Structure 1
Amino acid sequence: MTAAPLKIAYSPCPNDTFVFDAWAHGRIPGAPALDVTFADIDITNGMAERGEFDVLKVSYAVLPWVLDEYALLPCGGALGRGCGPLVLGREPDADLRGKTVAVPSERSTAYLLFRLWTADAVPGGVGEVVVMPFHEIMPAVRDGKVDAGLVIHEARFTYQQYGLHSLADMGEHWETTTGLPIPLGAIIAKRSLGADTLRLLATSARTSVKMAWDDPDVSLPYVLEHAREMNPSVANQHIGLYVNEFTHDLGDAGYAAVRGLLTRAAAEGLVPPLGRDALSFV
């Protein structure tokens, strides 16, 4: 009897479709079959908090709320250097004190990095924070609906098309103050699947990453089918930035970055504190 496919949700962004292409299309011998749902990070964060899917791509920022039910996989996610969220405005030297800023989620790594940055760089803090889907943020800034916007993903490469300016790089601030890579997106799986299945999921994710690296042209149709930014060169830039050695294996530096972010955020009262073994895999 064939096991039912595992329900997985990840974003339609190029890094996720690139990473999961081989696995999602059944090209990895022995890997569990996947039933894929595409959803933006704010949606998948909520799914994780409600325990709705077997496997999810979520923001590292949501981990303190979900690690009782889910385990962090040591691969498949997004960390890196030089790839942090940006704060954008209509004017190059905009003062954000007391201003309205759009963010993609208050349970996102981008938001935690933003709050850590404002604590250092914006005396008195910003004003109202408005949550909206990340693909709506740049038009909202351009049209004057908000004063500034926190953007992620391929917006790093396209914001100038909206006539916007980068006011600050959250990743640059993080790397300068910590020396650690930037923890962005995590892959989590239900602990109830059992240790053997969790190990198989990690092996499958690593194999899928390696297959995509070995022959990237194979994944391109899947990537472009779902990318909001359809330009192949932009998609390739996105993949090059967010799919790296940390995607294949978090390693000591990756785990240090995750714990460092969540520890700092807990000290600011932004997330609950992590237990000592909360990030343990199996």
Structure 2
Amino acid sequence: MALSIAFSPCPNDTFVFHALVHGLVPGAPEFDVTFADVDVTNTAAERGEFDLVKVSYAALPWLLDRYELLPCGGALGRGCGPLVLTRDSLDGDLTGRTVAVPGDRTTAYLLFRLWSADRPPARIEVVPFHRIMPGVAAGEYDAGLVIHEARFTYQRYGLTALADLGEWWEGDTGLPIPLGAILARRGAVDPAEAAGWIRESVRRAWADPAASREYVLAHAQEMEPDVVRRHIDLYVNEFTADLGPEGHKAVETLLGRAAAAGLTPTV
């Protein structure tokens, strides 16, 4: 019987999971794949819909009763944090402004809330990720919170980076940024086995990048090959193979600060 797995169509996820979902990892089962943005998977995981699922680290406090965090396959790193973008210079003042965010339980939004904790409040609107930059450029929103490949393309929309929340986080904590996590549903998947499958999938992706190229590009939402390559280079790194002590400390620090600020339940 096939296991269900859900991850985004972003290049880092399709690159990491190509071998696993194409039957190239010895001993791994077949998978039924669902592609969905992380805001969708965060909600679906709360209902226990998938056996393996990519979610935001910020959503973990609501999910660990049903799922176990795997130490590999996710997105965590340096220089890869969310950006706050604007069309016009706001001099850092978002008071009363409308800010488009990609989901209310995303790590990007949690970092934004921690960053803006001592600032006057902005108006928040949850918007599908692909609509954020065009919406800010068109004046529908005063600012937008963006992730992933938007780091490489926001200038094309005439936008300016008001803040790099990754730089803020790293400067404040000295730790990498925990963005996306891979979870295994309790009782459905053996976590150690699943971690072994994913690590082998990552190893194969690095050993033969050309093998996954067609699959990655097919789901890359019209990204140019150079942007796809830069995206993978940034988000698939040593923490993808293993969180390690530094990765776990980054996760604990993020969720500890969030709980202390009353933004999430305590883990």
In structure 2, the residue matched to 1:277 is none
Shift of 1:179: 0.5
Q: What percentage of aligned pairs have identical amino acids?
A: 65
In structure 1, the residue matched to 2:141 is 146
In structure 1, distance between residues paired with 2:120 and 2:153: 30
Over 6 Å off, 4+ runs = none
In structure 2, the residue matched to 1:46 is 43
Q: Count how many residue pairs are aligned between Structure 1 and Structure 2.
A: 266
Contact 1:57-1:185 within 8 A present in 2 as well: yes
In structure 1, the residue matched to 2:207 is 214
In structure 1, distance between residues paired with 2:24 and 2:89: 47
Paired residue for 1:125, among 108, 121, 128? 121
CA RMSD of aligned residues (A): 1.0
Q: Deviations over 1:53-111 (max 9, x none)?
A: 11100000110001011000010000000000000000244431221100001101001
Contact 1:92-1:166 within 8 A present in 2 as well: no
TM-score (norm 1): 0.92
In structure 1, distance between residues paired with 2:58 and 2:233: 23
In structure 2, distance between residues paired with 1:226 and 1:177: 35
Paired residue for 1:106, among 78, 81, 104? 104
In structure 2, the residue matched to 1:245 is 238
Q: Deviations over 1:181-221 (max 9, x none)?
A: 00000000111125xx2211100100101110111111111
Query: 1:102 is matched by which residue type in structure 2?
Result: A
In structure 2, the residue matched to 1:156 is 151
1:223-262 alignment, distance < 5 Å: 223-262=216-255
Instruction: Give 3-state SS (helix, strand or coil) of 2:251's partner.
Output: helix
Q: Deviations over 1:210-238 (max 9, x none)?
A: 11011111111111000114211100100
5+ long unaligned stretches in structure 2 = none
In structure 1, distance between residues paired with 2:30 and 2:245: 30
User: Kindly tell me: are residues 219 and 211 of structure 1, through their superposed partners in 2, closer, same or farther at Cα, counting changes over 3 Å?
Assistant: same
In structure 2, distance between residues paired with 1:241 and 1:97: 32
In structure 1, distance between residues paired with 2:89 and 2:159: 8
In structure 2, distance between residues paired with 1:188 and 1:243: 17
In structure 1, the residue matched to 2:72 is 75
Instruction: Give 3-state SS (helix, strand or coil) of 1:193's partner.
Output: coil
In structure 1, distance between residues paired with 2:57 and 2:27: 28
In structure 2, the residue matched to 1:280 is none
Contact 1:180-1:257 within 8 A present in 2 as well: yes
In structure 1, distance between residues paired with 2:227 and 2:155: 13
In structure 1, distance between residues paired with 2:222 and 2:196: 30
Contact 2:94-2:120 within 8 A present in 1 as well: no
In structure 2, distance between residues paired with 1:104 and 1:268: 21
Query: 1:53 is matched by which residue type in structure 2?
Result: F
Q: Deviations over 1:141-165 (max 9, x none)?
A: 0011110000011011010111101
Matched, 1:265 2:266: no
1:163-242 alignment, distance < 5 Å: 163-193=158-188, 197-242=190-235
Query: 1:73 is matched by which residue type in structure 2?
Result: L
In structure 1, distance between residues paired with 2:112 and 2:176: 16
Query: 1:125 is matched by which residue type in structure 2?
Result: P
1:9-20 alignment, distance < 5 Å: 9-20=6-17
Query: 1:67 is matched by which residue type in structure 2?
Result: L
TM-score (norm 2): 0.98
